[in-house]
Amino acid sequence: MSLAVMRRIVTGHNEQGKAVIVSDAPPAMIIDFKAIPGTVFYEIWNTNESPVAINNAPDPTLRPVQLHPTPQGSIIRFVDIPPDSVQENISGADIAAGFAHIGAASAATHNDDSPHKLMHRTETIDYGILISGELWLIVDEGETKLTVGDVVIQRGTNHAWANRSNEVARMVFILLDGKFAEGIA
């Protein structure tokens, strides 16, 4: 079960150059991530360049969902993460298909020695802010419990999110395109 859908307010400019509210509604793209039951992506906005063109272009979220931003791009999304018990029967094939569906087949890193079956890694800097529930951040060698208000700066490391509670958790993620430094890949 997902939490309440948020409002997304988008501003722009009218023909006279005055600031206006273009949209005040739920996000246009809400994706029930069927490969990982109970996971929901709320695509808030994305950019495909840096610096970002400030214009009245159409909603950039109206595209197939992808885990990571385009080169020099960014993504802001909310993600509902269900309790681990909802996902206990998910297979490795389902996980691989799920990552492939969001354009990130190579991101899935699970193997027999992994601490969690949803381990993954992207060449991004991600700011994750827990706004509801509780989660565990799991990395190759360690884990830590997150509570509401905690912020994770995910610097291209192998990781997974575990929800060991009975309630859906919600994180806000801001993802920035990155490049692994020499020796980090």
Structural domain includes residue 20: no
Range of the domain at 135: 29-177
CATH number at residue 130: 2.60.120.10
Q: What is the residue-averaged pLDDT of the chain? A: 94
Q: How many CA atoms lie within 13 A of 20 on its CB side?
A: 10
Structural domain includes residue 24: no
Structural domain includes residue 55: yes
Residues 6+ away with beta carbon under 8 Å from 148 = 130, 131, 132, 133, 134
Structural domain includes residue 34: yes
Residues 30 and 42 sit within 8 Å (Cβ to Cβ): yes
pLDDT at 155 over 80: yes
Q: How far apart are CA 148 and CA 175, in angstroms?
A: 19
* pLDDT attached to residue 168: 97
Q: What percentage of residues in the chain have a pLDDT greater than 90?
A: 83
Q: How far apart are CA 107 and CA 133, in angstroms?
A: 25
Binning pLDDT at 50, 70 and 90, where does residue 3 land?
Answer: confident
- The predicted-structure confidence for 23-52, as pLDDT tens digits, reads as follows 999 999 999 988 888 999 999 999 999 999
Query: Which H or E run includes 141?
Result: none
Structural domain includes residue 9: no
What burial class does residue 122 get, using C-beta atoms within 10 Å of its C-beta: 0-12 exposed, 13-18 middle, 19+ buried? buried
Number of compact structural domains in the chain: 1
Structural domain includes residue 92: yes
pLDDT at 14 over 90: yes
- The predicted-structure confidence for 84-133, as pLDDT tens digits, reads as follows 999 888 888 888 888 998 999 999 998 889 999 999 999 999 999 999 99
* pLDDT attached to residue 121: 96
Task: Give the DSSP letter of residue 51.
Answer: S
* pLDDT attached to residue 59: 96
Structural domain includes residue 3: no
Structural domain includes residue 103: yes
